[in-house]
Chain A
Amino acid sequence: MLELASRALFDEGISALDEALLNIRGWQLFAKDYPLLDVGFQRQGSISIRVRMRCDDWNDLPPSIEICDAQGALVTSMPQNLSGILNLSAHPQTGKPFICMRGSREYHTHPSHTGDAWATIRSNDAFTLGGILTQIWRAWLKVPA
């Protein structure tokens, strides 16, 4: 996809991440400049984790997603595994832990899931940038404080 078109889709996707949404969910935007979306999830008033989505070629490709700590360092362990969506083993392409969930680039490029094509779900409202973030956030909410 042309970068201009990808950037326009990205900007449209994050335009609805407004104050009302951030407040009700306790989200904090650390970066929203194409191609990077970096959102922190608050628990009891402080940032617990950050979800960093690299959205180059959005939405021909799903975002590449990393889970980071409050300082932005890559998370290598979790007390509970985000309802099973955080895979702590090395991804064959990145060598890093990855989000193993539909809507994550690492999921769709993993040899176990290459048959589950991003193209079949990318127009679904659950797989907008906000929708993917929401799915990760709700999984994180299930991790006890």
Chain B
Amino acid sequence: MTSQHEHTVEVRVVTTAGVFPASGFEHEPAAQPVTVVLEKAKRALHITDTTNWIAVVGGNRIDPSLSYAANHLGPRVEIDWGPDHGAGGNA
């Protein structure tokens, strides 16, 4: 028998607009796409445009369209979410 704990992950999203949730962690199903919590963070932190933003965990870029399990994440996850590197202007 598997426990509830094995099917959820604790998640926190860190951005330069703030941290979601403001304290503690969100509890999310391990099978749920990461993008769900990113959308929650976006609303809570009043972020309007995340075009070209990337999500990074432990220095590795993850695919938010995949689940925590598919991204090999858990049981506690801190997602660093923000714009990708700037492009040179070739001045």
Q: Which residues of A contact B (CB under 8 A)?
A: 16-18, 20-21, 24-25, 81, 83-85, 87, 89, 100-103, 107, 110, 112-113, 116, 124-126, 128-139, 141-142
A21 touches B89 (CB 8 A): no
Residues of chain B contacted by A133 (CB below 8 angstroms):
16
A136 & B91 in contact (Cβ 8 Å cutoff): no
CB closest chain-A residue, reference B58:
A24
Q: 19 interchain pairs (CB within 8 A)?
A: A16-B16, A17-B16, A18-B18, A20-B12, A20-B14, A83-B86, A83-B87, A85-B89, A87-B88, A100-B91, A112-B91, A113-B91, A128-B16, A130-B82, A131-B16, A134-B16, A135-B85, A136-B86, A139-B86
Cα A132 to Cα B78 with chains together (Å): 21
B interface list, Cβ under 8 A from A: 12, 14-19, 47-54, 78, 80, 82-91
Could you tell me the distance between the alpha carbons of A24 and B48 in the complex, rounded to whole angstroms?
A: 23
Contact yes or no, A101 B16, CB < 8 A:
no
Contact of B52 among A17, A87, A100, A126 (CB under 8 A): A126
CB atoms of B14 and A21 under 8 A apart: yes
Whole-angstrom distance between the Cβ of A139 and the nearest chain B Cβ = 4
B91 & A142 in contact (Cβ 8 Å cutoff): no
With both chains docked as a complex, state the minimum distance between the C-beta of A51 and any C-beta of chain B, in angstroms. Answer: 12
Asked if residues B16 and A85 are in contact (CB atoms below 8 Å), the reply is: no
